[in-house]
Amino acid sequence: MKTFTILLQTWVLVLLLGYSAANAQDCSMITGAGGDIFPDKRCAPVVATLQARFFSPASQPAIANFKIKVSWADGSAPEIFPASASLNADGTSWVYEIKNIKHTYPKGGEDCNYVVEAYPIINNTVECTSKFYRGNVTVWDTDDENGGELALSSFLLCMPR
pLDDT in tens, 24-77: 457 888 999 999 999 999 999 999 999 999 999 987 766 778 999 999 999 999
Amino acid of residue 65: N
**Alpha-carbon gap, residue 79 to 118, rounded angstroms:** 9
Residue partners of 2: CB distance under 8 A and separation at least 6: none
Q: How many CB atoms lie within 10 A of CB 56?
A: 24
Q: What pLDDT is stored for residue 109 in this prediction?
A: 82
Task: Answer yes or no: is pLDDT of 146 > 80.
Answer: no
Task: Answer yes or no: is pLDDT of 20 > 50.
Answer: no
pLDDT band for position 13 (50/70/90)?
Answer: very low
Residue 73: which region, alpha, beta or left (left: phi > 0; alpha: psi -120 to 50)? left
Which of 127, 129, 113 is CA-nearest to residue 37?
113
| More confident: 123 or 5 | 123
- Residue 72, Cβ density class (10 Å: 0-12 exposed, 13-18 middle, ≥19 buried): buried
Structural domains in the chain, sorted by start: 2-138 (2.60.40.10)
Hey, which bits of the chain come out as E strands? Answer: 32-39, 46-56, 67-71, 79-82, 84-87, 94-105, 113-122, 126-127, 133-138
Chain mean position to CA 66: 11
